[in-house]
Chain A
Amino acid sequence: MAAEGKAIDALSQFALTPVLGKVGASVGFTQSNAFMLLAVGLITALMISGTARRAIIPGRLQALAEAAYEFVYEMATGQIGEEGKRYFPFIFSLFMFVLFGNLLGLLPYAFTYTSHIAVTFTLAVIVIVLVTAVGIAIHGWHWFSYFKPPGLSPLLAVLVAPIEVISYLSRPISLSVRLFANMVAGHVMLKVFASFVVMLGTAGFLGFLGALAPIAINVALVGFEFLVAFLQAYVFAVLTSIYLHDAVHLH
């Protein structure tokens, strides 16, 4: 599949295909949805089995569950403050969903649902709608003063307010594009170098030797992709926390 003929086909890995036979095809249930369900199942299993024994000396699963919990807890309370505890469940679910999507996508034959802008943009829209709702719920009409920087003459405020509104509305776009672009770029690079391996490896003895270089690059890239997978999930969650902070504490 990687190199059919001479062309490098790096994008077919992102194509959606229905799974579960006719039922899946008729309701549009694709492998992307299947992996989302798998991620949710794995996260639930990790947290339930990790907290089941509550040992004083944690086992591996419990240590993993606790590390994940505390990592996000520190992030939420550190960025938002004490009020961050109220939004911790949301941030935790978001972080784990994105993290598992990124990490599952690195397994062979797996599909990366975070490599689709439709998925990441939906997540970002959920974030921005929630942040706006939280802001209005806490501050009421006063929340709209968010778009008017303090200490500005009314004349300038008329000019600055639309800019602030556009800047606010650009948040979901930058949030989703960052995650989506990082995941797509990584997977395309992996695929391209893997195609080089196949093309060179079938081109005689010298080609076989030459194929070692792209293999070495791919080994390094896989390690790098694990870093990116974690980092992008972290960035997504941290920016959500920062936006929530802005909604809770105006200015």
Chain B
Amino acid sequence: MADRDDFERRLQEARVRQGLDAAPKGHGGGLPGGAWGIGFRIGVELVSALIVGLAIGWALDRWLGTGPWLLMLFVVLGVAAGVLNVYRVAMPRSGPR
């Protein structure tokens, strides 16, 4: 079995050398770049977290009848989650993928 794995590995290396396969990427983000792509992605990440915070706060307020307070709290948490999302887009987690 080890023999076969070794062959697969050498075959892969040869394929990379000959340009048949792309070289393995450094980090595993694997998402295409491009200024527009990244900009759009960051915008979506920010807004989607805000929407979720808004929805949770609104629903909890409606359920518990606690006026606007939970909505306000969860909007702030939503913004924080959005920033966290953006941070994760900008800095993909390192480590084995």
> A residues near B, CB below 8 A?
75, 78-81, 162-164, 166-167, 169-171, 173-174, 177-178, 181, 231, 234-235, 238-239, 242, 245
Contact = CB atoms under 8 A, between A and B. Distances in A.
Nearest to A173: B48
Given A79-B97, A163-B84, A170 B30 contact: no
Given A178-B40, A178-B41, A178-B44, A170 B31 contact: no
Contact of A170 (B40, B82, B96, B97): B82
A79 B52 contact: no
A232 to B, nearest CB: 10
Nearest to B41: A178
Interface in B15-31: 24, 28-31
Given A163-B80, A170-B85, A231 B48 contact: no
A163 B79 CA distance: 9
Contacts, number: 74
Given A167-B81, A238-B31, A81 B48 contact: no
Contact of A231 (B32, B53, B56): B32
27 contacts: A75-B30, A78-B28, A79-B30, A81-B96, A162-B74, A163-B80, A164-B84, A166-B53, A166-B56, A166-B77, A167-B49, A167-B82, A169-B56, A170-B52, A170-B82, A173-B51, A174-B44, A174-B85, A178-B40, A178-B41, A181-B40, A181-B44, A231-B32, A238-B31, A242-B28, A242-B29, A245-B28
B30 A163 contact: no
A81 B97 contact: yes
A242 to B, nearest CB: 8
Contacts of B82: 167, 170
